Amino acid sequence: MITLYMVATPIGNLEDITLRALRVLRDCDLLVCEDTKQTAKLAEKYEIIAPRTSFHAQTSPRQLEVLVQKIMQCESVCFVSDAGTPCVSDPGYKLLQSCMQQGIHIVPIPGPCALTTLMSVAGIPTHDIRFHGFLPHKKGRQTLITSLKDSTITHGFYESVHRFPKLLQQLSEYIGDSRIIVVGRELTKMHEDIFRGTVSDAKKYFTKENIRGEFVVLVAPARYQL
């Protein structure tokens, strides 16, 4: 039976890899990576020698077809995203769908995820949460943020360093300066930074000196106070 393992990998600190993930990565016949160069760091540290090939957002339908045929010639294949759990805000689901159509057995290997990492230390209600992935760059961005104004649940999303200052300004404008948010920056890395407070406080806290890396943002329910 051909098996495709969807393997969660560290979001920063390489020591966060699980023992099970290491076993399947070391034993697989082929390692499919969102970014082979990024995965090379993990492979070098843990002596993962399987040949690597890429699958990412720019992979064409024809390239995907060729890749699936290659997978079908193996017994054990692993897919890893740049970091974290596959198919959480990455194109891995397209590969997953194509393999499922060919009857390939799919096995999840759980592990790190930036969203759940921040949820575990957020200190706000996360029993009811909606995850939006990366916010739209332009079309629909204002509408989505405005929809959070009176929401009674927590909302989570990812944001890039380039758009984070604009996000804080939009949160201020569309849902108010007094709204409680939790922001995780560079989670599990050397300069990990976790902010809890109002949008207004966040605008003062995040300056040019500390808006580097990738961000995870949780917006607390309306009228929630720390």
Asked whether the predicted pLDDT for residue 111 surpasses 90, the reply is yes
For residue 196, the tally of other CB atoms under 10 A from its CB is: 17
| Residue 93, pLDDT score | 94
Q: Which of 76, 109, 142 is the last residue of a domain?
A: 109
105 & 7 share domain: yes
Residue among 172, 165, 176, 185 at smallest CA distance from 224:
176
Burial class (CB in 10 A: 0-12, 13-18, 19+), 86: buried
Asked whether the predicted pLDDT for residue 5 surpasses 90, the reply is yes
Q: Which of 48, 74, 109 is the last residue of a domain?
A: 109
Q: Confirm if 3 and 96 have CB atoms less than 8 A apart.
A: no
Q: What total number of domains does the chain contain? A: 2
Q: What DSSP character marks residue 19? A: H
Q: Which of 91, 109, 127 is the last residue of a domain?
A: 109
137 & 191 share domain: yes
pLDDT (average), residues 195-219: 92
Q: What is the pLDDT of residues 7-38, one digit of tens each?
A: 999 999 999 999 999 999 999 999 999 999 99
* β-pair partners for 183: 195, 217
| Residue 137, pLDDT score | 87
Question: Can you tell me whether residue 152 is helix, strand or coil?
Answer: coil
**Rama region for 209: left / alpha / beta (φ>0; ψ in -120 to 50; rest):** alpha
Q: What is the pLDDT of residues 116-166, one digit of tens each?
A: 999 999 999 999 999 999 999 888 999 999 999 999 999 999 999 999 999
| CATH of residue 76 | 3.40.1010.10
Question: Can you tell me whether residue 197 is helix, strand or coil?
Answer: strand
| Residue 91, pLDDT score | 87
| Residue 213, pLDDT score | 85
Q: What is the pLDDT of residues 34-79, one digit of tens each?
A: 999 999 999 999 999 999 999 999 999 999 999 999 999 999 999 9
Residue % of the chain over a pLDDT of 90: 92
Residue 224 domain-assigned? Answer: no
Whole-prediction pTM: 0.92
| Residue 90, pLDDT score | 87
Domain that holds residue 73: 3-109
